[in-house]
Each structure stands twice: as structure tokens, then as C-alpha cells.
């Protein structure tokens, strides 16, 4: 996996902060990052994603592989995990999704239960979904770090952007070298590459 990733081109954009909402659909659908895995969810959030403890506390609901998580220490992040993060949610069902909340029994059949607390540490890929207020909080950091995408998906995303997106795009950088936005838009810049590591600095 790392070999493939290491051969991917790295595309970076420098954009105005006003463009953050353009990435909201991507965040909701999930972006894949390369990360150290084989650790507890708590360690993954605090150390690998470098989220401050008070910000972790605001993430009232977390889901690993589509299951609500209650105990961050007893949940392991592995290569291929899907992690979704949400702020406080409304309604009874919203309350049942809270980590360790008092209505957890309402969804006990789908809650996350760790099978093995041990798993191999190493590099891997984790798909991260950000929802609601968490998109604004963690989205910029995730984009800055870089996400692993199929080039066709990235091109779909970029071709859906209106002209103001490109007006607010101050730099296009490919593998550390300044590049041309026109060549990115017309597809020539990334032609021949199936995958790309995409980052944006807002």
C-alpha cells in the first residue's frame, strides 16, 4: 500500500478560507488518509490526528465501521477502518448515539464491540467522515494534511466548482513545484495518474 501511495503525485492548492464549504460534501462522504494505525481510537485522535483533548470532548458521537462507539480506549483503529465524527445530535435517537450516553441500550445491537484489543501497529489507510459542526473544526486540518483520492474523483470534484473557486485559488503546487491552474482544470496536469494525494491549505 505504501509503495503505491509513495508513487502518487502530491497536488496542493492554496485557497481562501471562504472555500471551506466546497469541501463539505467530500467530508460527509469520507476522505482517506494515510496514518499510523493499530492503536486505540483515543490515541489515534489525540496523537495521529493531533486533536486537542477539549476538541475530542466536543465530538460527542463517533462511529467506527458504521457502529456507534462508547469507549475510546477499548476501540482499535486498523488499516481500512472507517471513522465518522459528529458533534452533539438532536432528538432521542441523536441522544442514543452519544458516546457512553444513558440511552446507549436503545442501539445496543449495533454498538461497536472490540473483538481483539491487540492489532499490528504500522501504517495504513483510514477513511474519515466529518459531519455537521465537526466539518468546520477538523476539516481544514485534514485537508492540509492531505487526503488520498482517485484522480477521477478529484477531477469530478474540481470540475463541479464554479469560477469563484479558481479565483480564490492562489497557488497550485504539484510535487512541490508551482503549477498551472489551467492545466489542472483541463486534466493534463494529472493525466496518467490513477491516484493522487490531494491537499488544500485554507
Looking at 11, 44, 81, 129, which residue binds other proteins (CB under 8 A)? 129
Looking at 2, 16, 108, 156, which residue binds other proteins (CB under 8 A)? 108
Judged by CB under 8 A, the chain residues 88 through 107 that form the site for other proteins are 88-97, 102-107
Question: Which grid coordinates belong to 89?
Answer: 445530535
Residue closer to other proteins by CB (options 57, 186) is: 57
Cα 169 to Cα 181: distance, rounded to the nearest angstrom: 8
Q: Of the ranges 42-50, 55-63, 139-147, 152-160, which one interacts with other proteins (CB under 8 A)? A: 55-63
Judged by CB under 8 A, the chain residues 18 through 47 that form the site for other proteins are 21, 24-25, 28-29
Task: Tell me, residue by residue from 132 to 171, as one string, x for binding to other proteins by CB under 8 A and - for no binding.
Answer: xx-x------------------------------------
Q: Of the ranges 47-55, 66-74, 175-183, 186-194, which one interacts with other proteins (CB under 8 A)? A: 66-74
The site that binds other proteins (CB under 8 A) totals a number of residues, namely 39
Closest CA to 157 of 16, 14, 23: 23
Residue carrying the nine cell digits 495521529: 48
Question: Which grid coordinates belong to 76?
Answer: 482499535
Q: Is 192 in the site for other proteins (CB under 8 A)?
A: no
Q: Of the ranges 44-52, 61-69, 163-171, 175-183, which one interacts with other proteins (CB under 8 A)? A: 61-69
Interacting residue ranges for other proteins, rule: CB under 8 A: 21, 24-25, 28-29, 58, 60-61, 63, 66-68, 84, 86-97, 102-110, 129, 131-133, 135
Amino acid at each position: 500500500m505504501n509503495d503505491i501511495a509513495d508513487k502518487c503525485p502530491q497536488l496542493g492548492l492554496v485557497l481562501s478560507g471562504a472555500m471551506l464549504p466546497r469541501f463539505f460534501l467530500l467530508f460527509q462522504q469520507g476522505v482517506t488518509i494515510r496514518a499510523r494505525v493499530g492503536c486505540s481510537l483515543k490515541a489515534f485522535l489525540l496523537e495521529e490526528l493531533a486533536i486537542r483533548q477539549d476538541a475530542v470532548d466536543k465530538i460527542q458521537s463517533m462511529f467506527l465501521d458504521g457502529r456507534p462507539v462508547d469507549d475510546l480506549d477499548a476501540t482499535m483503529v486498523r488499516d481500512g477502518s472507517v471513522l465518522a465524527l459528529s458533534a452533539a445530535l438532536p432528538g432521542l435517537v441523536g441522544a442514543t448515539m452519544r458516546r457512553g450516553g444513558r440511552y446507549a441500550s436503545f442501539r445496543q445491537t449495533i454498538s461497536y464491540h472490540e473483538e481483539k484489543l491487540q492489532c499490528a501497529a504500522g501504517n495504513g489507510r483510514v477513511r474519515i467522515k466529518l459531519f455537521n459542526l465537526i466539518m468546520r473544526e477538523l476539516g481544514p486540518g485534514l485537508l492540509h494534511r492531505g487526503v488520498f483520492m482517485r484522480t477521477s474523483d478529484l477531477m469530478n470534484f474540481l470540475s463541479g466548482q464554479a469560477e469563484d473557486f479558481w479565483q480564490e485559488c492562489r497557488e497550485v503546487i504539484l510535487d512541490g513545484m508551482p503549477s498551472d491552474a489551467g492545466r489542472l482544470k483541463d486534466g493534463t496536469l494529472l493525466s496518467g495518474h490513477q491516484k493522487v494525494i490531494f491537499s488544500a491549505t485554507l
